[in-house]
Chain A
Amino acid sequence: QVTLRESGPALVKPTQTLTLTCTFSGFSLSTSGMCVSWIRQPPGKALEWLARIDWDDDKYYSTSLKTRLSISKDTSKNQVVLTMTNMDPVDTATYYCARRSSGSGLDPWGQGTLVTVSS
């Protein structure tokens, strides 16, 4: 059974750096074709894709946010870490991680973690 779980601070202050960890089980990110993406959803709004890291360590970022994002993986710990710098109240959202295997969509998703940006 494949599961993913997001963890990180529930509250960050403006200008701070957010670090989120996605801990997964049931698959290996060293397997060819495997990828993990981060997606966020502001309250009441649509999904927004943020970043992706592939089994071969290729990394992809949202064009509008790439100067603020960094994604990395620790295959031995089954974890993917996303950092977002210079947080702003508009970054308040539920942050999800999700797996993508070759030839499919994002499946499954973690339960999400709500991050509020406020002073």
Chain B
Amino acid sequence: QSVLTQPPSVSGAPGQRVTISCTGSSSNIGAGYDVHWYKQLPGTAPKLLIYNNNNRPSGVPDRFSGSKSGTSASLAITGLQAEDEADYYCQSYDSSLSGPVVFGGGTKLTVL
């Protein structure tokens, strides 16, 4: 049971827009801690996709965007492409007994 809750799967057709939610609580996202997002292709290490809620590292297309409000955060992907099919994880920090760094359970994005 992950501290941050993500939908197990989302899907969309090429060109469409999809969002992935990440729901936390008052001890993590709601406490004001930053949220980061990672993309993981099968058999490879995760890669930073969004940092500090809504910032893209160099090289990440602007089709990817992040937002945060209250105890939740979201990752939005517009203009869906086949290479976007992957697992996506959110990550934040926590001040409770859960531990200082927490991940979401991951969301499998399928491009139809």
Contact = CB atoms under 8 A, between A and B. Distances in A.
B52 A104 contact: yes
B98 interface: yes
B45 A106 contact: no
Given A47-B89, A47-B106, A105-B38, A60 B101 contact: yes
B99 A64 contact: yes
Nearest to B50: A105
A52 interface: yes
B103 A103 contact: no
Contacts of A111: 44-45
Interface string A59-78: 01111100000000000000
A63 B102 CA distance: 11
B52 A109 contact: no
Contacts of A24: none
B112 to A, nearest CB: 22
A119 to B, nearest CB: 27
Interface residues of B, number: 26
Interface in A18-45: 37, 39
A61 B97 CA distance: 11
Nearest to B45: A109
Given A49-B99, A63-B98, A106 B91 contact: yes
B101 A46 contact: no
Nearest to A49: B101
Interface string B84-112: 00000101000001111111111000000
Interface of A: 37, 39, 46-49, 52, 60-64, 96, 103-112
14 contacts: A46-B103, A47-B106, A49-B103, A62-B99, A96-B45, A104-B51, A104-B52, A105-B37, A105-B48, A105-B50, A108-B48, A109-B45, A109-B47, A111-B45
